[in-house]
Amino acid sequence: MIVGLSIIFICLLLGEGVAHVLSLPIPGNVIGMVILTTALMLGIVRLEQVKPVADGLLKYLALLFVPPGVGLLLYGEVLKASWLAIGVSLVVSTVIVLGTVGLLQQYLERRRHE
Amino acid sequence: MNEILTSPTFAIATTLVTYWAAQKIYERWNFPFLNPVLITILALMGLLKGLQIPYERYEAGGQYISFWLGPAVVALGVPLYQHMETIKKRGIAISCSILAGSIIGILTAAGLAGLLGASDLIIISMAPKSATTPIAMGIVEKLQGIPSLTAAIVVITGVLGAVIGPFVLRCLGVVSPTAFGLAMGAAAHGLGTARALEEGETQGAMSGLALCVNGIMTAIFTPILLKVLLAAFNNLNP
């Protein structure tokens, strides 16, 4: 547990360091994810060292979005004033993205198998 | 009494208990609109309103929960590593699909909002809606939108994608686990990934991959695409 957490936090720290030094528009946690994958591929980190902690964190991934979601309270007025524009574009855009990625990926996979 | 209600402990305890209860409800009825995150957010909003607790007081405790988003995103490196074979084999197809999803997502979100009369500030704040919270907030901050509004919009998008995503994909006939996962992660970031993990390990790993790649692509393309769109809208309504 402590080993897994240490590894994850070291990757996060390195990721944040890289993002800061190179002033990248990508946040440190995403770079940390790439660092962890690379460390696993290079054998610097073993799967069984991080797997239990990673599984635990990912099991509750959705819960972590609750506090910023409750923050919607602060934007009641803005959202009320533009609810149609925001609502319609969110729903339509989300459906289009789901369809584009899902169908395109499936098409490319099938074409390759034929 | 008031001191207890506005303490960080109260915020954390109520968030955990509400989420736990919401999960029980979801498991019991398994109806997509009973999404645990959606239920928890609505219940907590009601609670704060009812007890007249200002959001800032709630956030004093809530930040300890959302802090774990950082380590959780790093933890996505584990399923990513476990599916490296698939990624190597289908790398080009995967990159093309996510690239298309990222560009079309930015264009449709910002474009439709603009056409329906939203202000430039809202258009900017909505453009990176499908990227994960920290990426989207970073983009909007640089473009001088409203980062905290973006955080809220990103969560709405995530809940929406998690709730309707599997249904939409099934209707469109998407059966490939890889395609399912990529679509969920590209459209609905971490919340889509959490939902994709329920379907299976492959779906979850692909969703985590899409979250990562889509986030990076959104960071690159949002400034360029917004410049074009905003210029077009300002020409239409001078």
Residue B107 has pLDDT above 70, yes or no: yes
Same domain, A1 and A55: yes
Residue range B44-69, pLDDT digits in tens: 999 999 999 999 999 999 999 989 98
Q: Which residue has the tokens 């989207």?
A: B136
Residue A19 has pLDDT above 60, yes or no: yes
Same domain, A41 and A78: no
Q: How far is CA A89 from CA A86, B107, B113, B126, B229, in A?
A: 5, 10, 6, 9, 15
Same domain, A53 and A6: yes
SS3 B7: coil
Nearest to B23 by CA among B13, B11, B38, B42: B38
How many cross-chain Cβ pairs, A to B, lie less than 8 Å apart? 323
Per-residue confidence (pLDDT) for residue B22, from 0 to 100: 94
Rounded percentage of chain A residues whose pLDDT exceeds 90: 62
Per-residue confidence (pLDDT) for residue B141, from 0 to 100: 82
DSSP code, position A73:
G
Instruction: Compare CB distances from B193 to A5, A53, A61 and report the shortest one's residue.
Output: A61
Instruction: Compare CB distances from B74 to A12, A55, A74 and report the shortest one's residue.
Output: A12
Rounded average pLDDT over B204-229: 90
Nearest chain B residue (CA) to A90: B109
Measured CA to CA, the distance from residue B238 to residue B220 in angstroms comes to 28
Largest CA distance in chain B: 60
Residue range B110-132, pLDDT digits in tens: 999 999 988 899 999 999 999 98
Cβ-defined contact of A101 to B153 (cutoff 8 Å): no
Q: Chain-centre distance of CA B131, in angstroms? A: 6
Per-residue confidence (pLDDT) for residue B57, from 0 to 100: 93
Residue range A51-99, pLDDT digits in tens: 999 999 988 888 998 998 898 888 888 888 888 999 999 999 999 999 9
| Inside any domain, residue A91 | yes
Q: Give the residue from A34, A59, A84 where a domain finishes.
A: A59
DSSP code, position B101:
H
Whether A101 contacts chain B with CB within 8 A: yes
**Amino acid (one-letter) located at A84:** L
Cβ-defined contact of B138 to A27 (cutoff 8 Å): yes
Rounded average pLDDT over B56-85: 90
Rounded percentage of chain B residues whose pLDDT exceeds 70: 99
Rounded average pLDDT over B5-17: 94
Same domain, A3 and A49: yes
Same domain, A76 and A48: no
| Inside any domain, residue A15 | yes
Count of CA atoms in the C-beta half-sphere (13 A) of A31: 18
Domain range for A51: 1-59
Cβ-defined contact of A82 to B118 (cutoff 8 Å): yes
Mean pLDDT of chain B: 91
Per-residue confidence (pLDDT) for residue B212, from 0 to 100: 84
Instruction: Compare CB distances from A106 to B168, B176, B216 and report the shortest one's residue.
Output: B176
Same domain, A2 and A54: yes
Whether A33 contacts chain B with CB within 8 A: yes
Per-residue confidence (pLDDT) for residue A74, from 0 to 100: 85
Rounded average pLDDT over B150-176: 94
Per-residue confidence (pLDDT) for residue B238, from 0 to 100: 55
The residues in A 45-74 lying below 8 A from B, measured between CB atoms, are 47, 50-51, 53-55, 57-74
Rounded percentage of chain B residues whose pLDDT exceeds 90: 64
Whether A106 contacts chain B with CB within 8 A: yes
Query: What is the count of structural domains for chain A?
Result: 2
Cβ-defined contact of B187 to A97 (cutoff 8 Å): yes
Instruction: Compare CB distances from B59 to A40, A67, A106 and report the shortest one's residue.
Output: A67
Residue A29 has pLDDT above 90, yes or no: no
Mean pLDDT of chain A: 91
Same domain, A41 and A4: yes
Residue range B22-44, pLDDT digits in tens: 999 998 987 878 889 999 999 99
Buried b (16+ CB within 10 A) or exposed e, B74-90: bbbbbbbbbbeebbeeb
Whether A85 contacts chain B with CB within 8 A: yes
DSSP code, position A65:
G
- Is B85 or B1 the better-scoring residue by pLDDT? B85
Q: Using a CB-CB distance cutoff of 8 angstroms, which residues of chain A are in contact with residue B72?
A: 57-58, 60-61, 64
Q: Using a CB-CB distance cutoff of 8 angstroms, which residues of chain A are in contact with residue B140?
A: none
State the Cα angle at B201 between B198 and B205, rounded to 5°.
Answer: 105
Same domain, A3 and A55: yes
Same domain, A73 and A55: no
> What interface predicted TM-score (ipTM) does this complex get?
0.90
pTM for the full predicted model: 0.86
Measured CA to CA, the distance from residue A50 to residue A57 in angstroms comes to 11
Cβ-defined contact of B190 to A64 (cutoff 8 Å): yes
